[in-house]
Amino acid sequence: MASQWVDLRDLKFLLNEVLNIGENLLGKGRYKDHDVDMCNMVLDQAAKFAEAEIAPTYPDEVHRKPVEATYDNGKVSTPEAYKRLWNLYCEGGWISTAESYEVGGQSLPVCLAAACNHMFLGCNQSFALYPSLTHGAARLMEDFFQHPLRDVVIEKMYSGQWGGTMCLTEPGAGSDVGALKSTAKKNADGTYSIVGTKCFISSGDHDLTENIIHPVLARIEGDPNGTKGISIFMVPKIRFDEKGKLTEPNDVYCSGIESKMGLHGNATCTLNFGDNGKCIGYLMGQERQGMQIMFHMMNEERQGVGMMGASLATAAYLHALDYAKQRLQGQSVTATAAKGENVPQVPIIQHPDVRRMLLKMKSITDGIRALCLFCYYCMDNEFNAVLEGNDEKKEYWHGMIEILTPLVKSYGSDMGMEVCGLAVQTYGGYGYCREYPVEQMMRDQKINTIYEGTNGIQALDLLGRKLGMKKGVNFMNLIGLTQAAIAEAKANENLKNDAEIVEGALNACAATASAFTQMMKTTPFVPLIAASDFLNCLSDALLGWLHIWMANIAVKKLPKAASEQDKAFYNGKIHGAKFFINRITALAPAKLDTLKKDEQSAMNISEDAFAV
């Protein structure tokens, strides 16, 4: 029976057949000690762990009992099942899968670690956020905390003995980080006294670890307003000595957790720093480098949020697929029985509109999963380029990551939300009830479009920064990277028309990007209003390319498939590609033509006219 939680076969297809890490990454550079068999073994173990240990900690599938983090007088408690799960997660080394041997990691490819995390997130995002944020904060400490305490901090965090967070948002400031009010005052011993409040801090306080390390943005007294005056500090929940022995509380207090639409098992906290004047922080990097440093973690988290979108979409789709195969309702549209004769009911997967929803879910999920893993694959190539001392290759792959990050975060979560909605729709009225988990997957999914920079901010980042980086070279490199797969598909009669659709959509995206660059100088509201739609059109086109890439492989492998399962898998790849390209990618050029029109009603309407 196929899994309802993880798509292990597709992950192996993407890593081994599409990205071909065995030839392109393994056995060389950073990954010289690893081969395909090792990586497949890691994937197998991750799948077993995800299904056997993590999935059961999602709310009870029979009675749908809520699993929530709770708050009582400054103390945050996680769901009881999370404690054992945290220990198993840490014992398995899952926090540091892709980290170097020097810091206790396994030096496995980043894209492999991401594939494992994809399965963990799909089984319980509320839990998986705790180690994900710990990993991101640990990476920040490893790269930017140059202090005698550094080695202790990263050893404790990568092992899971200590947790980690990301403390940016403040009450009233929201996405405007430059408006923060947290302050830092330098002490005689070189530490800083931190005072301020941070809100919406995921995993901000909990009982899974003995200590929590907070990277905190604050403004040193006398530094300028705005983002240029912000510094970043390592602030522990509990102080510790140079050997990692805990000493005394550090005046970090959780004043409450949010009552949220979803992710109930993860504590989203308000944290008060220095209410009693005793909160000590340690400067990371140099003064006024806070935003520059924090964006390293922010970008990692944005890529992770895109993967969260793909992960929940996977679980929702697989649950909907299983339900559609079992749920009997209605008769086949091809039934020829005479009127009045007893015609048997059929599984709803036989109904055309249900099949449309299922194939749309499959094609979107396959595409955003490929987009996410390709971004992580770019990181692996950048790492190896650094080891080789090849600055040209490093800049090439880094440029890919810069362009892809807002697409991964925004499109991955938006389309993940659409998949969850279709999954609920597939169940019909039952999907709206807590008897089945897809309603919670939909609620959990929504936050992915909001945090780590709303999707509107991602669109503005793409339009205002990423397209123009290096005078557009990064963007054109990405478009250029698509050409090989398109050319291969155009030479295949079965994929020729599909490849031409993708090529036309990508050309339209490039032309629109050029037009928007000019409009920013003359009619800036036109591209600014269109930013989110443009990001989605570009992503629709790029997913068309990824589907063509996957279909090229499937067309070659299908005749040689050794089993009926493999034949079905490759057949599914071809049909999924055709569905997505012809029903989603094909619409992009017309949408882009509309976006370029001088239509500014969103700006011209008065505020009073929105509702009278």
Helices 125-144, 290-326: axis angle to 10 degrees equals: 160
- Residues 20, 117, single domain; the answer is yes
Model confidence pLDDT, tens digit, residues 181-214: 999 999 999 999 999 999 999 999 999 999 999 9
| pLDDT at position 62 | 53
Which segments of 389-454 does DSSP mark as H helices, in order?
391-427, 438-446
Residue 498 falls inside a structural domain? yes
- Residues 501, 592, single domain; the answer is yes
Give the residue from 292, 315, 334 where a domain finishes. Answer: 292
- Residues 48, 149, single domain; the answer is yes
Tell me the two tokens of residue 168.
């940016």
- Residues 27, 143, single domain; the answer is yes
Least confident range from 51-65, 481-495, 497-511, 528-542: namely 51-65
Known catalytic residue at 452 = yes
Task: Say how far apart CA 161 and CA 245 lie, in whole Å.
Answer: 12
**Residue among 160, 156, 136 nearest 87 (CA):** 160
| pLDDT at position 60 | 60
- Residues 580, 527, single domain; the answer is yes
Residue 361 falls inside a structural domain? no
Q: Is residue 100 within 8 Å of residue 239, measured between CB atoms?
A: no
Residue 67: half-sphere exposure toward Cβ, Cα within 13 Å: 26
Residue 331 falls inside a structural domain? no
Span 21-29, mean pLDDT?
95
Task: Say how far apart CA 203 and CA 93 lie, in whole Å.
Answer: 20
Residue 407 falls inside a structural domain? no
Residue 431 falls inside a structural domain? no
| pLDDT at position 343 | 82
Span 114-143, mean pLDDT?
97
Task: Say how far apart CA 364 and CA 579 lie, in whole Å.
Answer: 10
CATH of the domain at 276: 2.40.110.20
User: If you search the block for the tokens 């009830």, which residue do you land on?
Assistant: 433
Percent of the chain beyond pLDDT 70?
Answer: 97
Buried/exposed 365-391: b ≥16 CB within 10 Å, e otherwise: bbbbbbbbbbbbbbbbbbbbbbeeeee
- Residues 175, 149, single domain; the answer is no
Dihedral of the alpha carbons of 287, 291, 296, 300, in degrees to the nearest 10: 150
Q: Is residue 266 within 8 Å of residue 86, measured between CB atoms?
A: no
* CA–CA–CA angle 574, 580, 584 (5° rounding): 160
Give the residue from 126, 157, 188 where a domain finishes. Answer: 157
CATH of the domain at 14: 1.10.540.10
Tell me the two tokens of residue 62.
């029979």
Model confidence pLDDT, tens digit, residues 250-274: 999 999 999 999 999 999 999 999 9
Range of the domain at 539: 482-606
Model confidence pLDDT, tens digit, residues 390-449: 999 999 999 999 999 999 999 999 999 999 999 999 999 999 998 899 999 999 999 999
| The pLDDT of residue 19 is above 70 | yes
- Residues 191, 241, single domain; the answer is yes
Span 598-603, mean pLDDT?
96
**More confident site: 66 or 496:** 496
Helices 352-388, 290-326: axis angle to 10 degrees equals: 150
Tell me the two tokens of residue 198.
């941070």
Model confidence pLDDT, tens digit, residues 78-122: 999 999 999 999 999 999 999 999 999 999 999 999 999 999 999
Average pLDDT, the chain: 95
Which of 300, 301, 439, 452 does the annotation list as catalytic? Answer: 452
The letter for the amino acid at 169 is T
| pLDDT at position 339 | 57
Number of domains in the chain: 3
Span 60-65, mean pLDDT?
58
Give the residue from 268, 292, 316 where a domain finishes. Answer: 292
Please state, as a whole number, how many other Cβ atoms lie within 10 Å of the Cβ of residue 607: 6
- Residues 532, 597, single domain; the answer is yes
Task: Say how far apart CA 10 and CA 569 lie, in whole Å.
Answer: 9
- Residues 282, 204, single domain; the answer is yes
Residue 371 falls inside a structural domain? no
Model confidence pLDDT, tens digit, residues 544-587: 999 999 999 999 999 999 999 999 999 999 999 999 999 999 99
Residue 396 falls inside a structural domain? no
Please state, as a whole number, how many other Cβ atoms lie within 10 Å of the Cβ of residue 596: 17
- Residues 182, 236, single domain; the answer is yes
3-state secondary structure 97-138: CCCCHHHCCCCCCHHHHHHHHHHHHHHCHHHHHHHHHHHHHH
| pLDDT at position 332 | 87
**Residue among 221, 231, 235, 233 nearest 290 (CA):** 231
Span 164-181, mean pLDDT?
86
Confidence of residue 63 (pLDDT cuts 50, 70, 90): low
Model confidence pLDDT, tens digit, residues 280-320: 999 999 999 999 999 888 889 999 999 999 999 999 999 99
Residues in contact with 166: Cβ distance below 8 Å, sequence separation at least 6, in sequence order:
133, 136, 137, 201, 202, 215, 294, 297, 298, 301
Confidence of residue 64 (pLDDT cuts 50, 70, 90): low
**Residue among 17, 12, 16, 127 nearest 550 (CA):** 17
- Residues 133, 36, single domain; the answer is yes
Residue 20 falls inside a structural domain? yes
- Residues 137, 195, single domain; the answer is no
3-state secondary structure 457-524: HHHHHHHHHHCCHHHHHHHHHHHHHCHHHHHHHHCCCCCHHHHHHHHHHHHHHHHHHHHHHHHHHHCC
